Amino acid sequence: TSVLRDSLGGNCKTIMIATINPEASHTEESLSTCKFAQRVSLIKNKALLNEETDPSIIIRKLKDELLNLREEIAFLKGEAGEGDALLPTELEELKEQCRQYCYNTDPYSTLNIGPMT
């Protein structure tokens, strides 16, 4: 059982086949095997797929996101030729929100900067 310890938990799916001997001389060993198999059947794992991501794809996505954020900041600053210019305090608040968004490790985080007009 100590050999199987790492295989009976964590991020994996495990199948166990317990074999027993019907002879009377092996009753205790067979009973022990059945008890062990019963305990193993109570283990519940939630296996997840381990995905490898190509670093170049991540870099491309981050560069695209950075470009979009820079364009959005330029728009909000009024440099895109549309909208009203932001007040210095509004600009600082927007920059801080962008910094927090960029350093947030939550993959589902969003950047909410208010309505776009």
Q: Which residue has the higher pLDDT, 26 or 4?
A: 26
Residue 80: pLDDT band (50, 70, 90) is low
CA dihedral 63, 96, 73, 62 (to 10 degrees): 10
List, for residues 29-49, the tens digit of each pLDDT value.
Answer: 989 888 888 888 887 777 777
Q: How far is residue 84's CA from residue 116's CA, in Å, rounded to a whole number?
A: 11
pLDDT tops 80 at residue 116? no
Q: Kindly give the interhelix angle for 55-77 and 88-103, rounded to the nearest 10 degrees.
A: 170
50, exposed or middle or buried, with CB in 10 Å at 0-12, 13-18, 19+? exposed
Q: What are the φ/ψ torsions at residue 107 (nearest 5 degrees)? A: -70, -15
